[in-house]
């Protein structure tokens, strides 16, 4: 028998569940990655893959080319420009998103409005400095968070009104930055050789071999991949650190390397970086775009580093001719005096913009420093992990916390569902 009195107000329906940042469509994508990632990871970590690169997911089967319905828009008079965001994604933050969405810098040899043709989110499963630690997200979980981040990444084709992002997610088992550039170049040349029509050729019949074990295959030189690695300052500092480049042993072990005619670590570093950064065919034609560092107050690791590494990195890049000298270039500066190119959509000099685009980037623009914004540059994966760890498992179940402001809504929901970066102790 009901105990409700006549004067009681009518019962209200239960409140609707909060909106879910991860949609059913997203769940299907995560399930696909969850099923395929273990095999792909095992393949490259056990050496079963011919190259230590595996494509985990792509927006369409023709990536990095445009989808079939938009192939007519694919330029055929220059290399295919691919931006690569290489990170540990532990977890991906709004800083990662800002990097992935950053516009292509305005190079003086390119006409205004030049953009990347395709984008790649790259997870390194072997890092020269980093190993999995207790509480870290597994590689499978990071790939799933990368898939959620990919929803927010803009690509040139998508902005023009298409339904597909020209975007992919891949894993690489190569510890050094230079090694990643080399294996990705070979992997993408092989992939393009299978995608491009055999009858397509350069007007001068200039072709590029795709790889040592595929010497019969070539791709037109104007359809080769041109890679742009988009990195943070920490990565650029490691790239310019001689300790990652073992010197060649001296001929006489009782003398110093230099005295014995050997090659020092710094000389080795400059040689291999020159090969990577030099224009084709002398080098790999790889470009680097680096975001100026920003610090979160809670990120003590970055706070302790200061700007000394940044300054020395700039000095070496300018000395080697890979970057512009801030004293002679027209680039603007930030409040701290660090070189930051102006808005990449606006010319920074009176030099006439080129009308033809052949893909040749000047030597002193092979490395460019950009500013992704004061707010975005302050978000750190380390800060997210630290904030979650301080909350503990009980606190994380209550919800809230500033860390949610540093990641996308779908990544925040995933972190909570998977109970990442917290301890039950």
Q: What's the CA dihedral at 237, 166, 144, 406 to 10 degrees?
A: 60
What average pLDDT does this structure show over 195-209? 55
Q: Say what the pTM is.
A: 0.81
What is the per-residue pLDDT across 397-413, written as a single tens digit (0 to 9) for each?
445 678 999 999 999 99
Alpha carbon of 331 to those of 119, 236, 312, 324, 334: distances in Å? 26, 20, 19, 9, 10
Residue 204's pLDDT is what?
40
Residues linked to residue 53 through DSSP beta bridges, in sequence order: 172
Please tell me whether residue 417 adopts helix, strand or coil conformation: helix
What is the per-residue pLDDT across 217-260, written as a single tens digit (0 to 9) for each?
677 767 899 999 999 888 898 899 998 888 866 555 544 444 44
Residue 333's pLDDT is what?
35
What average pLDDT does this structure show over 25-42? 95
Return the sign of the alpha-carbon dihedral for residues 172, 178, 184, 187.
negative
Residue 170's pLDDT is what?
98
What is the per-residue pLDDT across 298-338, written as a single tens digit (0 to 9) for each?
334 444 444 457 788 888 999 999 998 755 554 433 333 33
Q: What is the mean pLDDT of the chain?
A: 79
Residue 272 has pLDDT above 80, yes or no: yes
Residue 341's pLDDT is what?
43
From the list 100, 28, 16, 93, the residue with the least C-alpha distance to 415 is 93
Residue 205's pLDDT is what?
42
Residue 332's pLDDT is what?
35
CA atoms within 13 A on the CB side of 218: 13
Phi/psi of residue 229, nearest 5 degrees: -85, 125
Residue 153's pLDDT is what?
93
Kindly write down the DSSP assignment for every residue of 226-281, as one continuous string: EEEEEEEHHHHHHHT-GGGSPPPPPSSTTS-TTTTT---HHHHHHHHHHHHHSPTT
What is the per-residue pLDDT across 161-187, written as a single tens digit (0 to 9) for each?
554 579 999 999 998 889 999 999 999
From the list 66, 94, 9, 178, the residue with the least C-alpha distance to 409 is 94
Residue 222's pLDDT is what?
72
CA atoms within 13 A on the CB side of 230: 25
Phi/psi of residue 353, nearest 5 degrees: -70, 140
What average pLDDT does this structure show over 202-215? 50
From the list 277, 255, 296, 288, the residue with the least C-alpha distance to 382 is 296
Cβ(352)–Cβ(361) below 8 Å: no
Residue 8's pLDDT is what?
62
pLDDT above 70: percentage of residues in the chain: 68
Q: Where is pLDDT greater, at 303 or 43?
A: 43
Residue 280's pLDDT is what?
87
List, in order, residues 6 or more apart from 280 with CB less than 8 Å away. Answer: 79, 208, 221, 224
Please tell me whether residue 381 adopts helix, strand or coil conformation: helix
Looking at residue 86, what DSSP letter applies?
E
From the list 79, 361, 75, 73, the residue with the least C-alpha distance to 206 is 79
Omega prior to 69 cis, within 30 of 0: no
Residue 234's pLDDT is what?
84
292 band by pLDDT with thresholds 50, 70 and 90: confident
């Amino acid at each position: 028998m009901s105990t409700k009195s006549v004067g009681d107000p009518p019962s209200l329906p239960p409140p609707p569940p909060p909106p879910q940042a991860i949609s059913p469509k997203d769940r299907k994508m995560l399930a696909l990655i969850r099923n395929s990632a273990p095999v792909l990871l095992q393949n490259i970590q056990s050496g079963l893959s011919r190259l230590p690169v595996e494509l985990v997911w792509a927006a369409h089967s023709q990536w990095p080319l445009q989808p079939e319905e938009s192939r007519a828009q694919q330029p055929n008079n220059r290399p295919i420009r691919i931006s690569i965001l290489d990170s540990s994604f532990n977890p991906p933050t709004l800083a990662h998103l800002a990097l992935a969405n950053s516009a292509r810098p305005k190079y003086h040899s390119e006409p205004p409005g030049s953009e990347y043709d395709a984008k790649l989110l790259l997870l390194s499963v072997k890092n020269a400095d980093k190993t999995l630690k207790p509480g870290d997200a597994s590689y499978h979980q990071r790939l799933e968070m990368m898939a959620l981040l990919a929803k927010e990444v803009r690509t040139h084709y998508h902005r023009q009104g298409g339904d597909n992002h020209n975007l992919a997610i891949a894993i690489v088992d190569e510890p050094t930055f230079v090694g990643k550039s080399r294996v990705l170049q070979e992997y993408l040349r092989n992939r393009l050789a299978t995608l491009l029509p055999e009858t397509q050729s350069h007007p001068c019949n200039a072709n590029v071999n795709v790889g040592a074990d595929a010497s019969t295959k070539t791709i037109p030189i104007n359809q080769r991949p041109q890679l742009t690695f988009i990195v943070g300052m920490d990565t650029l500092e490691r790239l310019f650190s001689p300790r990652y480049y073992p010197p060649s042993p001296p001929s006489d072990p009782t003398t110093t390397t230099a005295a014995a005619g050997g090659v020092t670590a710094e000389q080795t570093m400059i040689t291999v970086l020159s090969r990577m950064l030099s224009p084709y065919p002398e080098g790999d034609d790889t470009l680097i775009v680096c975001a100026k560092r920003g610090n979160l107050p809670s990120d003590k690791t970055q706070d302790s580093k200061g700007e000394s590494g940044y300054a020395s990195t700039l000095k070496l890049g300018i000395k080697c001719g890979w970057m512009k000298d801030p004293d002679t270039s027209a680039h603007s500066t930030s409040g701290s005096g660090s070189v930051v190119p102006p808005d990449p959509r606006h010319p920074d000099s009176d030099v006439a913009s080129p009308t033809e685009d052949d893909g040749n980037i000047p030597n002193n623009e092979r490395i460019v420093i950009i500013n992704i914004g004061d707010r975005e540059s302050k978000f750190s994966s380390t800060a997210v992990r630290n904030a979650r760890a301080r909350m503990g498992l009980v606190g994380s179940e209550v919800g809230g916390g500033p860390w949610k402001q540093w990641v996308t809504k779908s990544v925040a929901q995933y972190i909570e569902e998977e109970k990442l970066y917290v301890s039950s102790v």
